[in-house]
Every structure is written in C-alpha cells, then in structure tokens.
Amino acid sequence: MDRNKIFKNAKTSKMNYKRSIFIIFIFLFQISIAFAQEEIKKIKLKIGKHDEFYRLVFIFDNSDILQSTSAMLLKENKIKVSLTEDVQIEYKDKVLSDNEKIDGLGIKKIDKNFIFEISSLSDIKVYKLHFPPRLVIDAYTNQMIKDEKILSSKFSVLIDPGHGGKDKGLTYNDISEKDVVLFISKEISSKLAQKGIKNILTRISDEEVSLKKRIQIVNNQNPSIFLSIHISQENLFRIYNVQNSNTQMNTKLVSHFREKILNNFTEPLAIEEIPIYLINKINSTALLIEIPQKALLNEKKYLNKIIDVLYLSLLEIGKANEKFTKNK
C-alpha cells in the first residue's frame, strides 16, 4: 500500500512538474509574441519641398532593409515604396497612421507597402545611400518642369565677377577678392546652365576688364538679370540697388536676395542706394552684391553656402520674372 502511495505521489508530482513547465513555455511564448508585436520596425521619413521637386528621404536602421526596399512610379500621380518587412513610418517624431496627409502629400499603407500621392507627379529619381542607410526619392511634378522650361526659354543671367588682372580687389594672406568672386561666379554659372538657364560671365579668367567694357557687355547681351559680385570690407552682406529704382523687377530682385540671405546667414545685411555707376548705366535689372569679408578665408563650406543662396535666389527671381512678364 505504501509502495503504491509512494508511486502515486511520485507520478502526481511528475505530472505537476510537466504541467508547470508547459505553463512556463506558454507564458514565455505569449511574452515573446507580445514583444514581437511591439518590435515593428520604424523608419524615419523626411520631406523637403524644393524648387524643382519634392524630396522624400527614408532613413533605415540597417542596410539590409534598404537593399530589399524598392520604389516605383505608378499611374495617377502615385509612388509605391515596397518593403519586405512590416514597418511603420515616423515623421517628425510621430508615427504615421495607415492614411495620412502631409504638406499636400497623401501617404497610405497597404500591407508592407506605402503609396505616396503627389499631385501633377511626372517623374521620380531614386537613390540608395549609405551612412546612414537611406532611400531618397526625388519626385518631379509637371508644374515644376513647366516652370523650368519657361525659364530656360526666356530667362537669362549675366554674372559679373568683380576686379581681375592687376586689380586684385581686397586681399587676405594670398587670397584675392578677384579669385574668390570668379570661383563663386563660375559655380553659379554652372548650376544655372544645368537648369538650362542661359548665362554669361563678364570674365572667365584672371583678366582685367574695365567697367566701361563690362557695361558694354551687359548692354549688348541685354540679360534679364545682371549680378555683380564683390566682397565687403566688413563681415556683412551689402546689396547696392539701382539708385531711385522703383521698377517692380528691381524691387523683387532685392527682396528675393534679402529674404534668402537673412534666412540662411547670421551676418547682417545692408541695402545701399548710392550711385554705383556700373548698375546705374545699364538697361537690365541689376544689382551689385558684396559678400562678407569672411569669404576671403576661402572656406569651401562657406563659399558653397553662398553659391547655393545666390543661385537659388536667381532661380526664384527667374520664376517671378516670367510670371511678371506673363501678367504684363
């Protein structure tokens, strides 16, 4: 009897032991499921509205997801971003729902894919970049392409790098104003050319060009905009406007540059109305701009910033110019 009892007790305790192990397994399984559910990967999204396109940037945690992600242009102004895993999009520290609208862009989540809807979408360019792993989509719209075409047909710019030859302009150590402004002018010229905008320089090398010759070039070419670039003796931007200028285009020209400069630089800006012979004697819409003395340090990052700001200002002026001409 005792023997049977002992045997029974042993059996029961073994069963209890198995049961508890089973329960622990189930418990662990459920916890792992719960964790797995919480562990849906997130990708960060950044949206930038540029002059020519929308830029969508998806930032991933690792390169594997990036490699398996693809983007394609669909009909009806849509872009499909396909992923192999289920992910959530985080935009400005907020996880997006399955149907969102941001800055005029519609974003829908269907299974593991995302559909982006952009009005008048015409083309996309897709880049996969590393460090950090990211997918970049540049989405071009019809309106933007149309604007570009209008600009390329009528809008023209004449850029005047100041000084040259014996006239070095301001100098700092071995760096001369004539070289810095020539570099900036050439870069702007190349960027404008890439956009199909006709542009000319008053000098393309280290040569001496008199002010009279410069005026002659401008009046022969009759560009939409004439921009003379110099360096200031102080650490500030200076815009010399045409004296007694009340024309709508000149006012717009100054305001475009003013806005761009103030938004992108900490240096102050002064707008002068002294009679600068060069810009007062030409027939085109014109201004002379002096960039801060800091440019003489020849720091590439700073110069590139100046190039971008001047280039984008000219581009915007071009668009404003076309609208103005149309309305006229």
Query: How far is the C-alpha of 53 from the C-alpha of 298, rounded, in Å?
Result: 31
Minimum separation from the CB atom of position 119 to another protein (A) = 46
Minimum separation from the CB atom of position 281 to another protein (A) = 8
- Taking the least distance from each CB to another protein, the nearer of 91 and 172 is 172
User: Which of 50, 53, 46, 39 minimizes the C-alpha distance to 129?
Assistant: 46
User: Which of 163, 42, 47 minimizes the C-alpha distance to 103?
Assistant: 47
Backbone angles phi, psi at 240, to 5 degrees: -100, 115
Touching another protein, residues 159-218 (CB under 8 A): 162-163, 167-171, 177, 210-212
274 touches another protein by CB under 8 A: yes
Q: Residue from 135, 192, 288, 296 that binds another protein (CB under 8 A)?
A: 288
| 89, two tokens | 């999009």
Minimum separation from the CB atom of position 238 to another protein (A) = 7
Minimum separation from the CB atom of position 139 to another protein (A) = 43
Minimum separation from the CB atom of position 265 to another protein (A) = 17
- Taking the least distance from each CB to another protein, the nearer of 112 and 212 is 212
Query: How far is the C-alpha of 107 from the C-alpha of 89, rounded, in Å?
Result: 10
- Taking the least distance from each CB to another protein, the nearer of 58 and 240 is 240
Minimum separation from the CB atom of position 229 to another protein (A) = 12
- Taking the least distance from each CB to another protein, the nearer of 249 and 278 is 278
What one-character-per-residue DSSP string does 167-233 give? B--SEETTEEHHHHHHHHHHHHHHHHHHTT-EEEES-SSS----HHHHHHHHHHH--SEEEEEEE-S
Minimum separation from the CB atom of position 249 to another protein (A) = 22
For CA atoms 294, 299, 302, 308, the dihedral sign is positive
238 touches another protein by CB under 8 A: yes
User: Which of 236, 228, 227 minimizes the C-alpha distance to 294?
Assistant: 236
Report which DSSP code applies to 39: T
Applying CB under 8 A, the site for another protein has a residue count of 26
272 touches another protein by CB under 8 A: yes
- Taking the least distance from each CB to another protein, the nearer of 152 and 250 is 250
User: Which of 80, 79, 90, 81 minimizes the C-alpha distance to 40?
Assistant: 90
Query: How far is the C-alpha of 119 from the C-alpha of 78, rounded, in Å?
Result: 8
Identify any residues that bridge with 199 across adjacent strands, giving them in sequence order.
157
233 touches another protein by CB under 8 A: yes
84 touches another protein by CB under 8 A: no
- Taking the least distance from each CB to another protein, the nearer of 212 and 323 is 212
Q: Residue from 134, 230, 260, 294 that binds another protein (CB under 8 A)?
A: 230
Query: How far is the C-alpha of 161 from the C-alpha of 156, rounded, in Å?
Result: 16
Query: How far is the C-alpha of 272 from the C-alpha of 122, rounded, in Å?
Result: 43
Minimum separation from the CB atom of position 211 to another protein (A) = 6
- Taking the least distance from each CB to another protein, the nearer of 56 and 180 is 180
Touching another protein, residues 118-157 (CB under 8 A): none
Residue ranges that bind another protein, judged by CB under 8 A: 162-163, 167-171, 177, 210-212, 230-234, 238, 240, 272, 274-278, 288, 290
